[in-house]
A and B are shown apart, each in its own frame.
Chain A
Amino acid sequence: MKELSLNILDIAMNSVKAKADTVWVTLTETADTFTMKIADNGCGMKEDFLKTVTDPFSTTRTTRKVGMGIPFLLLAAEQTGGSFEITSKHESEYPDSHGTVTTAVFNKNSIDFTPLGDIVSTVTTLIQGSPDIRWIFKHTMPKGEVSLDTNELKEVLGGVPLDNTEVILWIKGYLEEAYSETE
């Protein structure tokens, strides 16, 4: 992956596939570290499957037997001297508190740190692809914060869907402006 925002898009797609109705994408930056945390209330994974997810030969896809999403992220984090963690509660054991949390910490000063890239596109792509999910995005930086909760937008929009193109373009513009104010 050329940009970290693509890893974020890819990992958040797992939450979509897990049929989550709420996904939290939380990015936290300090001067030296970048932490991404993607949490959902989807179906979760059983313990034996969870143990295998960092292995590329473990996947939920049905078209082939290789899944690179999590191994890619693990590699991207570890090559900076950072860390990776995934925890999950499967719905069969935790009917009221199931879901998955994926966290990766990067060392921003490492020469192998992949830049974040176009995070606005990642957020709009997620909303456009799954408008029925409540997306709660928050990016905290040393100089400010950018956040978005699709439930707040839905309140204004009434019955107009979030994947309406004009709405998506408004979200894009909104986030771009919010980012420009943190510079």
Chain B
Amino acid sequence: MKSLAELAAIKEKMQNKVVMREGSGDIRVVVGMATCGIAAGARPVLNTFVEEVNNQGLSGNVTVTQTGCIGICQYEPVVEIFEAGKEKVTYVKMTSEKAKEVIEKHLKGGNVVEEYTMTNA
């Protein structure tokens, strides 16, 4: 059984990390989680970003958050990526597989995956 002791260990680890995190280059991944997004499959897309950002060691400068309806329900699941000093990138009709590709090429490699963006939909 998963124990609260494990959770306490996570706490110790994180408290040591906090200082290091401040001031790092921030990338924000925002997933639309209104009725339209949820019905179209946003939940697994969100969870893929949350888990993979952690697994790939990106959690230092990438935060994954949720938002309501972005207004383009026909293109859901929609993911927006905000990066300081760059234009917002909107990915549409996302899936877990596409999310993994975006993490690899865009978040890690710095190259926008044009074929999944709003402009190419």
Write the residues of chain A forming the contact surface with B, with a CB cutoff of 8 angstroms: 1, 6, 9-10, 13, 17, 61, 63-64, 67-69, 72, 118, 121-122, 124-125, 128-129, 153, 156-160, 164-170, 173-174, 177, 181
Contacts and interface: CB of A to CB of B under 8 A. Distances in A.
Interface in B58-82: 59, 64-66, 68-71, 73
Interface residues of B, number: 34
Interface stretch (B36-44, B87-95, B104-112): B36-44
Contacts, number: 92
Given A6-B38, A165-B51, A125 B11 contact: no
Interface of B is mostly: helix
Contacts of A68: 35-36, 39
A130 to B, nearest CB: 8
B120 interface: no
B3 to A, nearest CB: 9
A33 B51 CA distance: 34
A17 B35 CA distance: 13
A169 B47 contact: no
B34 interface: yes
A48 to B, nearest CB: 22
A9 B44 CA distance: 12
A122 B38 CA distance: 10
Given A10-B38, A13-B34, A177-B2, A156 B50 contact: no
B11 A128 contact: no
A182 to B, nearest CB: 13
Given A124-B47, A128-B66, A169-B51, A72 B35 contact: yes
Q: Which 3 A-B pairs have the closest CB atoms?
A: A63-B71, A165-B54, A129-B66
A165 B50 CA distance: 7
Contact of A121 (B7, B8, B10, B43): B43
Nearest to A177: B2
A125 B48 CA distance: 11
A61 B68 contact: yes
A157 B73 contact: no
Given A13-B38, A157-B7, 4 more contacts: A13-B34, A61-B69, A72-B39, A129-B65
B84 interface: no
